[in-house]
Amino acid sequence: MAQYRVGIIGGTGQMGKWFKRFFERHGHIVEISSRKTHLSPVDCAKNNDIVIVSVPIQVTIDVIKQVAPHVKKESLLMDLTSIKEAPVKTMLEHSRSEVIGCHPVFGPSVASLKNQAIVLCPARGKKWLPIIQKLCESEEGKVKISTPERHDEIMAIIQGITHFNNISLGYAIKILNADIKESLEYASPIYKLKMDMVGRILNQDAGMYADIEIMNPKTKEVVRKYFEAIKKLLHILETNDREGFVKYFKEASDYFGPFKREAEEYSNYTIEKLVEKKK
């Protein structure tokens, strides 16, 4: 593979640093621009073959508008946000270059792309997609090609409902004034695993999760549907409707089909590892 110049705007953030290491591992020259560097975002955009915008979601659109006109026509402009429709549209409107929206579906603590999902949303041009895809797959990354619209629809479920559930569960435990440590003394490893997921999210940046939940326009409708499911089940509980509960459960179970067995096997493996660690 040829050697490319890569410019990362927001390169001193955690994901910016991760991608700096990633491209350098593959022999490319990387320069970064941020509030902590002398190199300006505009100069970074002018200088490089691949220009990556890696800034917080709430300022991504503004930064794209600032730098996109300065990216060379033959170069590639990418962003790394967890929403894709608005950033990709902005990149297309304000640049002449090739455009690929990118969502690395992992955190900066992973060592490599091996078995990690990364979504690519090609929007303009044909040169750079095979180059970026091959680079990701060289580390056994799981590359998914998508449209920005479909990406945001799926992420409204993957992130929108999941984060909404975990954060609201944490808040409900606060309202109930439950003793988390005491509850773990009564609990199975499944409950412990769920509390680990809630605690993991609550140990991170609240602003980041606010942006993930609020800035994907498709999340609100998905969460409304989730609320409908919750209200239906609550009504079943309030009316002591055992038959209704079984019907509700079975409808969900049937929809999950063969995945249920796979999920049980995977979670059994995870639980066994948790128990071994505890010992």
Q: What is the DSSP letter of 34?
A: S
pLDDT tens, N- to C-terminus, the chain (279 residues)? 789 999 999 988 899 999 999 999 999 999 999 988 999 999 999 999 999 999 999 999 999 999 999 999 999 999 999 999 999 999 999 999 999 999 999 989 899 999 999 999 999 999 999 999 999 999 999 999 999 999 999 999 999 999 999 999 999 999 999 999 999 999 888 899 999 999 999 999 999 999 999 999 999 999 999 999 999 999 999 999 999 999 999 999 999 999 999 999 999 988 888 777 765
Output the six-digit token pair for 254: 């049937």
**The domain boundary residue, chosen from 146, 175, 202:** 146
Q: Are residues 108 and 171 in the same domain?
A: no
Question: What is the torsion angle, in degrees rounded to the nearest 10, for the CA atoms of residue 176, residue 180, residue 185 and residue 189?
Answer: 100
Q: Rounded to an integer, what distance in angstroms lies between the CA atom of residue 213 and that of residue 208?
A: 9
Give the end of a domain, one of 125, 146, 167. 146
State the pLDDT at residue 228: 97
Q: Which domain holds residue 180?
A: 151-278
Q: Are residues 256 and 228 in the same domain?
A: yes
> Same domain for 56 and 88?
yes
**Domain match, 157 and 124 both:** no
Q: How far apart are CA 207 and CA 195, in angstroms?
A: 21
Examine the domain organization and report whether 82 and 58 are in the same domain. Answer: yes
Q: Are residues 142 and 156 in the same domain?
A: no
Residue by residue, DSSP assigns 186-251 as H--HHHHHHHHHHHHHHTS-HHHHHHHHHH-TTHHHHHHHHHHHHHHHHHHHHTT-HHHHHHHHHH
Residues 259 and 223 grouped into a single domain: yes
* Angstrom distances, CA of residue 6 to CA of 50, 76, 133, 137, 223: 5, 9, 16, 18, 38
Q: Name the domain count of the chain.
A: 2
- Do 253 and 136 belong together in one domain? no
Q: Residue 272, exposed/middle/buried by CB under 10 A (0-12, 13-18, 19+)?
A: exposed
Looking at the structure, tell me whether residues 32 and 117 fall in a common domain.
yes
Among residues 100, 118, 146, which one ends one of the domains? 146
Long-range contacts of 57-64 (CB under 8 A, 24+ apart): 57/81, 57/82, 57/83, 57/208, 57/211, 57/212, 57/215, 58/207, 58/211, 58/215, 60/87, 61/86, 61/87, 61/90, 63/9, 63/10, 64/90, 64/91, 64/94
Here the CATH number for the domain that contains residue 101 is 3.40.50.720
CATH of the domain at 250: 1.10.3660.10
